A and B are shown apart, each in its own frame.
Chain A
Amino acid sequence: MPGYLRQIIIYAVVILLQVILNNYVNLGPMIYICLVPLLIVYLPLDQKPYVSLIIAFGLGLLIDILADGVLGLNAGAATLVALVYRPIFYPVFQKNNYSKKYIPPIRESNIWHHVLYMTIILAIYFLFYIAFDGLAVSTLLSSLLRYLLNIAVNLALVIIVDLTLFNKS
């Protein structure tokens, strides 16, 4: 199977998974399951930055439509992640990965690099998401708690999905 086709299928599966989890798994009002950041970090690293931005915006918008949420929330957050995923990648994964076209699979690299990288990416994603989802109507403390909870839960989920789907050769 060609690589791009395989990637498209994986992306479709992840999107479907997110929609199913959002609609059928209730983890309470504080938690929002979000796999979009994982899709963005697996965009090619040598791609033109504005193309990544447009793809990320499209993926976010698709999730907004399918999850029946506030239109633009995931799109805005995904676009922000698409702007920074590349500059963050190199310092986290160090010099020996400078020539990589994609983020290296967990099995081929240090898992803690992946954890650190995804933590930063999720932190940026949820910074936008929670700020625009109602920071002004919640207390700062509850917003902070929600922010940290979402990073922790989604980090675990993203690593599991990453190990399951993106590490198959």
Chain B
Amino acid sequence: MDYRSGSYKVLITVGVFIALEVISIIMIVQNSVLQRYMIMGGIRTSQVFIWERSEGLREFFRLRSYNQALQEENAQLRSKLAQMQYLEEFKEVTDTTMGLYRWIPASIIKNIPNKQHNYLILNRGAKDGVEPEMGVVTHKAIVGVVGAVSENYCYVISFHNKSQKASAMISGTNDFGLLTWDGTDGHTATLSHVPLSTTGAVGDTICTSGYSTIYPPDIPVGIVTDVDAVSGMYKDMKVDMFQDVRSLKYVYIVQRHHQAEIDQLSKTKVTNRE
């Protein structure tokens, strides 16, 4: 009871004190231009400080939506870049709507790591134009290949599967080989079947070759850390990958335009040979 009564007295005293000080300051502000300028300046400075902090906090909570918006914009820019590169390479082609790749931004909603047969589920499906056999990449990693598609989601066979291979080349040379995950950790892969004559060495960058229709060319994926000659015919190179697929959140599904046409053409050629 005493405690309550003591607290009550303190509250009243503090309340009266604050009220009287506020009245004093209001009187000072109203009766002197100099003091008004000084005090209002102080109040404005405090307001700006609080606004800045609260805006910073708000921005922090908006980061997810900003991230998604940036990813969309990035995808559009990549598509435009692909178009520009295509037009640059094939200037005689008059169809300016053509580009080699379309980039579809996606989020990984499920990622099963640390197994020999890894897979991912992405939040893009048939309604977004996703089809099986499309490549999934980031700006510095091969993520995998779309294996199956539902209306809203797709199943991606991760590059972290022993069965997955990607055509990759040593940057600055025309030498290419097959890049495979070596099944140990997320950062190590092997570039095999590289010609013996290659000038590629430890420290060189490995990027996608673009020789398959799945992955676009020139995506840097890792650095050579070791070179071995195999059976006197090829060289194998250990590659330290730039990104670990297990730690990704956002990726791009890559659709090569005219994929069906290319596939059809390949099949026709095979049939003719038969």
Contact = CB atoms under 8 A, between A and B. Distances in A.
B38 A72 contact: no
A73 interface: yes
A75 B20 CA distance: 8
B133 to A, nearest CB: 71
A57 B16 CA distance: 11
Contact of B34 (A71, A72, A76, A134): A134
Given A49-B9, A70-B32, A70-B35, A76 B16 contact: no
A54 interface: yes
Interface in B16-69: 16-17, 20-21, 23-28, 30-32, 34-35, 37-39, 41-42
A53 interface: yes
Interface residues of A, number: 23
B13 A72 contact: no
Majority SS of interface residues in chain B? helix
B81 interface: no
B41 A132 contact: no
B16 A71 contact: no
A115 interface: no
Contact of B28 (A73, A135, A136): A73
Interface residues of A, dominant DSSP: helix
B20 A79 contact: yes
A79 B21 contact: yes
A66 to B, nearest CB: 15
A71 B25 CA distance: 9
B12 interface: yes
Contact of B38 (A73, A83, A136): A136
Contact of B26 (A60, A72, A134, A137): A72
A130 B21 CA distance: 15
Interface in A40-94: 48-50, 53-54, 57, 60, 64, 70-73, 75-76, 79-80, 83
Interface of B: 9, 12-13, 16-17, 20-21, 23-28, 30-32, 34-35, 37-39, 41-42
